[in-house]
């Protein structure tokens, strides 16, 4: 449930309420808004009497949250969340583009890509150092050496780093390098990983699993939020359907659905969503038109030689022209 404090309630009044809630064995998550303070109450609500809570000082109303996800729901937080990633705000007026190679391969490859995507207007650099590959014989990523190369690219370009963390044991290390830690589609329901990311002081990019319902997707976000990390960005990256002409089917329906049900920002990955470099531009346009807060796009200086996902990677030139094209759509949508 959500406790809405009266407009003149102070932070000290809020502390009284949170202590009361915690003494009942429940968790309290205060959110300090511009106009009001609300407190999300999470746990077994049978332990608490709604009517009793309404009588506490400076409590205006107590509203039950009917959705199974609480902290991720718009019922809990009506205003859009804007997530700060190394000074880049995701979920506000600006459409944020994250770009870079699928895998970090060499210093030369990464720096060439980073410089070009920055010049084209990307705000964050992506690159996988730990790669979840279908085949155990395929390139698995450079590991910590890859993270070091990402750091070098950050020093040279100023771009914040987005990179995947695959297991709980790696969280601390990856969090030292990354500005935004990516949970890949395959790990969306790795609940121990999600919980450990709740303890990290960096924002999380949560990719939707290719067979996850919207409810499951938001419940995974709830794992991170309820473990203490409020900074979650959702990412639609395509789901499995019967179509065989694309790698996945990009579920753009999920964008307005997330906007209705949740306050969290959502970005779109048209690279994995289509698996085809020639479809990345049209689906980027569509994603922004549907209300996405940003894009994450695979770019490689020589896609034919990429260690992974070359067929869906844009050349540096194609990425530049994509940025020009999508800026037109962004403006038409009243965004920047």
Rule CB under 6 A: which residues touch ligand PEP? 102, 128, 132, 184-186, 207, 237, 272
132 binds, among Mn ion, ligand PEP, none (CB under 5 to 8 A by kind): ligand PEP
Question: Measured from the CB of residue 41, what is the shortest distance to Mn ion in angstroms?
Answer: 40
Q: Between 59 and 292, whose beta carbon lies closer to ligand PEP?
A: 292
Strand partners, 73: 262
Q: 146, 269, 260: which is closest to 206 by C-alpha?
A: 269
Contact (CB, 8 A) for 85 and 94: no
Query: Is residue 309 a contact point for Mn ion (CB under 5 A)?
Result: yes
Question: Measured from the CB of residue 237, what is the shortest distance to ligand PEP in angstroms?
Answer: 4
Strand partners, 160: 124
- Hey, is 63 helix, strand or coil? strand
207 binds, among ligand PEP, Mn ion, none (CB under 5 to 8 A by kind): ligand PEP
Radius of gyration of the chain (CA): 21
57 binds, among Mn ion, ligand PEP, none (CB under 5 to 8 A by kind): none
Residues composing the chain: 336
Q: Which residue is nearest to Mn ion (CB)?
A: 102
Q: Kindly give the residue spans of alpha helices, DSSP state H, lying in 210-276.
A: 214-226, 254-261, 270-274
Q: How many residues bind Mn ion (CB under 5 A)?
A: 2
Q: Between 102 and 120, whose beta carbon lies closer to Mn ion?
A: 102
Phi, psi of 185 (to 5 degrees): -55, -40
Q: 274, 329, 317, 328: which is closest to 296 by C-alpha?
A: 274
Q: Give the Cα separation of 331 and 336 in Å (integer).
A: 6
Six-digit token pair at 187? Answer: 């790990």
Q: Between 67 and 186, whose beta carbon lies closer to ligand PEP?
A: 186
Query: Is residue 9 a contact point for Mn ion (CB under 5 A)?
Result: no
In this structure, the strands spanning 37-42 and 2-5 are: antiparallel
Q: Between 77 and 300, whose beta carbon lies closer to ligand PEP?
A: 300
Six-digit token pair at 62? Answer: 């107590």
Question: Measured from the CB of residue 32, what is the shortest distance to ligand PEP in angstroms?
Answer: 34
Q: Between 40 and 184, whose beta carbon lies closer to ligand PEP?
A: 184
Q: Between 76 and 210, whose beta carbon lies closer to ligand PEP?
A: 210
185 binds, among ligand PEP, Mn ion, none (CB under 5 to 8 A by kind): ligand PEP
Six-digit token pair at 298? Answer: 């695979």
Contact (CB, 8 A) for 234 and 251: no
In this structure, the strands spanning 232-236 and 266-268 are: parallel
Helices and strands in the chain: count of H runs, count of E runs: 11, 14
Q: Which residue in 2, 102, 252, 264 binds Mn ion (CB under 5 A)?
A: 102
Question: Measured from the CB of residue 49, what is the shortest distance to ligand PEP in angstroms?
Answer: 44
Q: Between 44 and 244, whose beta carbon lies closer to ligand PEP?
A: 244
Question: Measured from the CB of residue 316, what is the shortest distance to ligand PEP in angstroms?
Answer: 18
Contact (CB, 8 A) for 222 and 71: yes
Question: Measured from the CB of residue 117, what is the shortest distance to Mn ion in angstroms?
Answer: 15
Question: Measured from the CB of residue 101, what is the shortest distance to ligand PEP in angstroms?
Answer: 9
Q: Between 207 and 285, whose beta carbon lies closer to ligand PEP?
A: 207
Q: Which residue is nearest to ligand PEP (CB)?
A: 184
| Interface residues toward Mn ion, by CB under 5 A | 102, 309
């Amino acid at each position: 449930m959500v406790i809405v404090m009266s407009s003149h309630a102070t932070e000290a009044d809020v502390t009284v309420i949170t202590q009361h809630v915690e003494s009942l064995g429940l968790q309290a998550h205060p959110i300090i808004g511009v106009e009001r303070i609300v407190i999300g109450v999470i746990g077994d609500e049978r332990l608490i009497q709604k009517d009793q809570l309404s009588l506490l000082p400076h409590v205006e109303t107590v509203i039950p949250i009917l959705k199974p996800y609480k902290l991720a729901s718009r019922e809990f937080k009506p205003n859009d969340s804007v997530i700060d990633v190394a000074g880049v705000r995701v979920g506000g007026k600006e459409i944020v583009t994250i770009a870079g190679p699928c895998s970090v391969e060499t210093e030369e490859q990464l720096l060439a890509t980073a410089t070009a995507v920055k010049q084209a207007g990307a705000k964050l650099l992506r690159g996988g150092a730990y790669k979840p590959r279908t085949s155990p014989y395929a390139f698995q990523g450079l590991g910590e050496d890859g993270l070091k190369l990402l750091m070098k690219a950050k020093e040279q370009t100023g771009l914040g780093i987005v990179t995947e963390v695959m297991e709980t044991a790696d969280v601390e290390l990856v969090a030292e390098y990354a500005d935004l830690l990516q949970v890949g589609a395959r790990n969306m329901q790795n609940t121990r990983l999600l919980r450990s990311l709740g303890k990290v002081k960096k924002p999380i990019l949560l990719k939707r699993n290719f067979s996850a319902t919207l409810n499951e997707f938001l419940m995974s976000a709830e794992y991170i939020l309820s473990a203490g990390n409020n900074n979650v960005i959702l990412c639609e990256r395509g789901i499995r359907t019967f179509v065989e002409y694309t790698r996945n089917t990009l579920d753009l329906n999920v964008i307005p659905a997330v906007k209705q049900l949740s306050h969290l920002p959502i970005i779109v990955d048209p690279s994995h969503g289509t698996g085809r470099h020639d479809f990345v531009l049209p689906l980027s346009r569509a994603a922004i038109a549907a209300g996405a807060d940003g894009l994450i796009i695979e770019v490689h200086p020589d896609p034919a030689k990429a260690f992974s996902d070359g067929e869906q990677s844009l050349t540096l030139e194609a990425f530049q022209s994509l940025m020009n094209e999508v800026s037109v759509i962004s403006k038409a949508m009243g965004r920047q």
